[in-house]
Structure 1
Amino acid sequence: MAFRQPAGSGGSPQETRAAHAEQPDEAPEGLAAGTERTTAAATGEQQAVPADDSSSPQRPGDRSSLSEMLFRDYRRLQRLVGRSYLALTLLVRLPSVIMPLSVLVYVSAASGSGWWGSLCAGAIYLGHAISTGITGLYAPWKHYQWGILIQTVLQVAAVLWLVRSLVDQAQDPSGPWPWYLCLLVGAASPQLGIATRIRWPSILYFHRDQSLSAVAMRHEAVMDALAMVVGALVAGVVAVAAGSLVGIMAGSGLLVLCTAMLLFHPTSGLPVWGTALWVRSKKHLNRAELRRRRARRFVRFLPVLGGGWLGLLWGSVQIGLVYFAASIDVIESIGAQFAALGLLSAISAVITAGFGVKRPWNLWVFCAAASVLATMLMSVPAGPFSMLLVLAVIGAATGPTLVAVFGIVPIISPRRFITGLSATTYVLIQVGMALGLVIAAGLGNFGGYQTVALLPVVASTLLLATAFLFIDRRRRVAMDMPVSARRRAAFSGRVVSGD
């Protein structure tokens, strides 16, 4: 399978790496922190200019408009990969949202039981977590594209099997529903969202701009939030217009289309670099060094765990919607109602990423506290409109939390760990959503909607507690931050420019 190189790259990746072999990754001695050396085209003289860092604070002399501030990350990445790839990072995430929601709505409506709907949808989310692990195994391969292609073919066969089984089971809704086939569909579906995350190290290495690692991770977090609203809206519209069974097949067809677009995009021809999900140390460490390493790993794991609590919150909210919609007989509108949460989540995530928060752990604490207050309101609504308002408030609180959790990873981790930690965060979000669906459905069978509404409060409380624990441990443990993070921390705000 042949793949093209990015247009305008100026030759093969090997030639480009050779041309830049002498360029240092570190700032040369004699320059202030946060500056880099450039060569004037006319005179050949080297000048010290401030490093371009989107997370640096706005200075009094800056008069950038609001749109420039909000879309600054987007424009910086657009110069590297173009608009088509950035749009593709959103499109490839939609099937992972459309299919579980469509299965949830169809099985819940056909069986008359929220338990079976949540079990089948939770099995898909759990399968997505397994698929992410599978993607991580073949991601370092030179021809990893074949792994994605094989998974896509298996996914089509599994979806056809699932659809036929669901139609047959609908004739006898009182029997057990094929949750195991849902698990198979989830495991066979390639997680293209994690594939785009893993591709960023190769893109940045090819363009020799590793300073954009944090920017790329913020962009991916924003795309996760946007995919939630767009995918839920598509699933809701298809469920109302043509039925949820059509939504399942539409999600599968969209996944095939996205796979083809991702595999034949010019960036797929870049050499694999920096995609290892685990880096083994070759140094022999003494007991004190091992304790420090364990302490650092624990601190780095806390944002990953925060992603799991966020998934638990979203999964329990989905089941809360199922029981609430069933109580007022509007179960087909679950997708459209969940889109309200995704809409405010996406808007708040875009605004947060545009501001480029320097200390995302403080944002994590603030938004987690807001999530606790917002989820307490889930027991209040008595109609669809009031529920939409509650979901909007929850979305406005969880969107920035998602950006903060993914934004912390590049700040506290060496560059070689960023890909693995980001992938693990994505896995725990999927596992959390699966557990949220199943646990909330069990609570619903025991005590109804009011009992289900307690689980989002518990999840958001755990999210807040993890944020407080992270801040406490980060102050006690010396982290070996990457060079780009140290430059941002040391940047004094004084512009150094050449005459």
Structure 2
Amino acid sequence: MTSPKFPVPDSPTSDAAPGPGTDTARDATPAPDVVAPAKKVGRYSMLPRIAGKSYIPLGLFARVPLAMLTIGVLTLVTAVSQSYAIGGFAAGAVGVGAAIGAPLIGYLADRLGQKHVLLVAAVLNAIAVGAVVVLVYATAEFTTAATAAVLGTTFLAGASSPQVGPLSRVRWMALIKKMPTEQQGPLVDTALSLEGTADEVTFVLGPALVGLLAFMVAPWLPLVLAAAMTLTLVTMFAVHPTQLAVTGRHSGIADNAGYLPAESVNWFKVAVPVAGMVCMGAFFGSSQTALTAFTGVFGSVDQAGLMYAVMGASSAVTALSVAYWPVSFKHAWRWTLTAGLMAAGAVMFLLPDSLDTMIVVLLLVGLPVGPTMVAIFSVGSVIAPPQWMGTVMTALASGVVAGTALGSSIAGALAQSSGYQSAFVVPIAAAGSLFLLGLASAMVLRRQVTVR
């Protein structure tokens, strides 16, 4: 497929993004809305020219510590306490903390600007994660009080987690808003497709890195590495020149990438994509838990993570394809179609009777997952007023976290009482709910433009 081409400036670009009303604009990449008709590049090639060459890899690796946190806490606490229950509660506390803290971080970033909020969050999170390691190893016996202290600390680690993924999406929205109107729609799809793929890659990379380091060295190493990566990479992300495009709405800087002074949020409309992300999280959590029960039947529980990565890999690939879908194919209907395919595919979870056939099913089921996530984030970007974009994007991300915990717990209970086939009913139900919410989003957006 030949990718559409966009005109870009002739001169080489620096790694900085121009900040409105600042002197850095003189030495940075030419403003995106000043376009020369000289060279032609594809959509994905256009993104580094908009945000700078280092932005995409930085945005990818800066979100890895968050992907390592939950499984890292589970691994460490379980290994030291010798209790799967306490380890599970600790991991759940991380999820609850992230679900509560993420929208708060997004709100503060909208209000104060991303830079200072992310810098503070990076320091607090590194301290909290370090405290988890120290406290767990300092606990000689996991009494009720000691366990409560561990859970409180892991909750704080989750609540302070820097929300790189959602806030990166906000930056793309603001940067692309400076492009010519006819280019904005395709470029938004491209940026969100890239972000969806980055999420999928880190969902696979983070747990794999935790498992490798914990097995080869010690269970404390993944969390120590995550804290160090947070201090360095999140700090670099926070100060990257693209943050100038999303200065807080009370900063008083003019031409703030379309951030408007006063526009309220219709939280009823926002609740639709948030509920969609809860269902998406429930699909993830229940699939992983049911898959663990399935592999346990064959005595291969340790392969569950690798098998789950197969679904993540196919999902990541198809997420990239969304950039080339027609702009006329509205986001809500994309959501509806791909969620319908997810629901139909999830039924296949009930068919395999061997590990090999399950791998094939996971590969097929994963195909519509990435595009569905991209579509839901796209719907959220349409519904959210620009000055509330960070709040809405982080609310969507917290929906995934909350849904994952919910799906895992329900599927775990069913697997324990009735076997893995009953547990696989949960992802089927979650995907079916996603389909219905896709129809609801189409109704919500029927009078709204697709791209702001």
Does the alignment reach a TM-score above 0.5?
yes
- Mapped pair 1:258 → 2:228: no
What is the aligned counterpart of 1:454 among 425, 428, 435? 425
What is the aligned counterpart of 2:440 among 445, 466, 469? 469
User: 2:313 matched to which residue of 1?
Assistant: 343
User: 2:3 matched to which residue of 1?
Assistant: none
TM-score (norm 1): 0.70
Structural RMSD (CA): 4.1
Measured against aligned partners, the alpha-carbon deviations of 1:381-428 in whole angstroms (never above 9, x if no partner) come to 455444433332332221111111122334566655554433322221
1:351-362 to structure 2, matched below 5 A, reads: 351-356=321-326, 358-362=329-333
What is the aligned counterpart of 1:388 among 317, 339, 359? 359
SS in 1 for 2:101: helix
Distance in 2, Cα, partners of 1:11 & 1:279: 22
Measured against aligned partners, the alpha-carbon deviations of 1:75-109 in whole angstroms (never above 9, x if no partner) come to 22211122210111211221121221233455567
1:430-445 to structure 2, matched below 5 A, reads: 430-445=401-416
SS in 2 for 1:83: coil
SS in 2 for 1:402: helix
8 A contact 2:17–2:241 mirrored in 1: no
Amino acid in structure 1 at the alignment position of 2:164 = L
Distance in 1, Cα, partners of 2:166 & 2:339: 25
Q: 1:379 to 1:162 in 2, by over 3 A?
A: farther
Q: Shift of the alpha carbon at 1:139?
A: 0.9
8 A contact 2:335–2:376 mirrored in 1: yes
What is the aligned counterpart of 2:195 among 220, 240, 251? 220
SS in 1 for 2:98: helix
Distance in 2, Cα, partners of 1:104 & 1:325: 20
**Matched-pair identity in %:** 26
Distance in 2, Cα, partners of 1:221 & 1:157: 29
Q: 1:250 to 1:321 in 2, by over 3 A?
A: farther
Q: Shift of the alpha carbon at 1:190?
A: 1.6
1:68-467 to structure 2, matched below 5 A, reads: 72-107=42-77, 115-142=85-112, 144-167=114-137, 178-204=150-176, 211=184, 212-269=187-244, 272=247, 273=256, 280-281=263-264, 298-356=268-326, 358-411=329-382, 415=386, 418-467=389-438
User: 1:488 matched to which residue of 2?
Assistant: none
- Range that drifts further, 457-466 or 146-155: 146-155
- Mapped pair 1:13 → 2:26: no
Q: Shift of the alpha carbon at 1:345?
A: 1.1
Highest RCO, 1 vs 2 (Cα 8 Å, sep ≥ 6): 1
Distance in 2, Cα, partners of 1:381 & 1:245: 37
Amino acid in structure 1 at the alignment position of 2:309 = A
Q: 1:39 to 1:378 in 2, by over 3 A?
A: closer
Q: Shift of the alpha carbon at 1:186?
A: 0.6
Q: 1:171 to 1:341 in 2, by over 3 A?
A: farther
8 A contact 2:110–2:389 mirrored in 1: no
Distance in 1, Cα, partners of 2:262 & 2:281: 26
Q: Shift of the alpha carbon at 1:432?
A: 1.3
Q: Shift of the alpha carbon at 1:309?
A: 0.7
Extract unaligned runs of 5+ from structure 2. Answer: 1-13, 248-255
TM-score (norm 2): 0.77
SS in 2 for 1:13: coil
User: 2:8 matched to which residue of 1?
Assistant: none
SS in 2 for 1:77: helix
- Range that drifts further, 256-265 or 345-354: 256-265
- Range that drifts further, 365-374 or 323-332: 323-332
8 A contact 2:98–2:161 mirrored in 1: yes
Q: Shift of the alpha carbon at 1:464?
A: 1.4
Distance in 1, Cα, partners of 2:24 & 2:222: 45
Which of 1 and 2 has greater Rg? 1
Measured against aligned partners, the alpha-carbon deviations of 1:161-183 in whole angstroms (never above 9, x if no partner) come to 32244446697699958433322
Measured against aligned partners, the alpha-carbon deviations of 1:36-91 in whole angstroms (never above 9, x if no partner) come to 998999xxxxxxxxxxxxxxxxxxxxxx9xxx8xxx43222211122210111211
Amino acid in structure 1 at the alignment position of 2:374 = V
Amino acid in structure 2 at the alignment position of 1:179 = L
Distance in 1, Cα, partners of 2:75 & 2:154: 14
